[in-house]
């Protein structure tokens, strides 16, 4: 009984003193990536928070160390973005997509090797 009272008091204190604030909600959006020759194709799958996406930042680091950063607009569900210019390499290329949301938050949407 004492343990339950102590735990309950700790939870109440966390809310009263503001310790529970500042935790942001994880956004639900998704993208996929695949390599097509020397190009990389990123497809926007979307999700329940798709309407909140302002932009996507696509970062690609190929196996030879060459990198590229591309910014594309949000709300492109079902569409694909092709990153050409020979950025794709015969080895594994690291693709990272970061969603920039209208509330100012950022979240990694995709982090994969193709």
Domain boundaries, given as residue ranges, for the chain: 25-113
- pLDDT for position 19: 61
| Model pLDDT for residues 41-96, shown as the tens digit of each residue | 999 998 899 999 999 999 999 888 888 888 888 878 888 999 888 888 888 899 99
Secondary structure class of 106 (helix, strand, coil):
strand
Residues 23-41 have pLDDT tens digits of 678 899 999 999 988 889 9
Cβ–Cβ < 8 Å for 41, 48? no
Provide CATH code, domain 25-113.
2.60.40.10
End-to-end CA distance of the chain: 55
């Amino acid at each position: 009984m004492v343990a339950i009272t102590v735990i309950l008091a700790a939870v109440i204190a966390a809310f009263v003193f503001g310790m529970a604030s500042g935790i942001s909600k994880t956004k639900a959006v998704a993208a996929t990536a695949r390599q097509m020759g020397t190009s990389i194709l990123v497809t926007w799958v979307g999700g329940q928070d798709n309407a909140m996406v302002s932009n996507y930042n696509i970062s690609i680091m190929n196996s030879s160390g060459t990198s590229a950063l591309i910014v594309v607009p949000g709300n492109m569900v079902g569409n694909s973005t092709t990153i050409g210019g020979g950025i794709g390499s015969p080895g594994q290329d690291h693709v990272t997509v970061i969603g920039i949301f209208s509330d100012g938050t950022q979240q990694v949407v995709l982090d994969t090797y193709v």
